[in-house]
Structure 1
């Protein structure tokens, strides 16, 4: 019985010791929607950002959408990952750039 109480106490203490991350807030945000495309961007307080532009395209007799954009985020080690991309009838093509943490 004592072992069970100690286990429950240890489990409860472990739950309390888990560090809670602060909730990210949106710092900036913009959205534009048109009949032939859209554009949006946002930045958050935890270092995430995204920008995207899209437009209608015609390939043969089919219509679709082409997207160009970028997003970035910080790793737990302090590096910033910056990804730029295009997505269209030729596929998804991302490019990654890693910015080292400030020493």
Structure 2
């Protein structure tokens, strides 16, 4: 009886260990210390090839010297994300491999 019970616990531990991580919502502070306003902010899990929607929204702009709260809630269970920032001048900045699971804030600079 003890052997069967131990076997059942071992099987349960194995199944729990291989289960995928739960989808997450991650929130962090985005700080714009650049000399330009930020007009668009896109993210994508690093293992994907297409950008998500603009996290600033249709009328959103993060002015130079300001900060705001960003929520990534795309249902992914990934921690590594790529960020794409589009500034007032049209310049694009891409930052690959940001660990959003450990991110409390992110600062944009020139």
TM over 0.5: no
> Which structure is richer in relative contact order (CA contacts within 8 A, separation 6 or more)?
2
**Bigger strand share:** 1
Flag the structure with larger Rg. 1
* TM-score, structure 2 as length reference: 0.27
Q: TM-score, normalised by structure 1?
A: 0.28
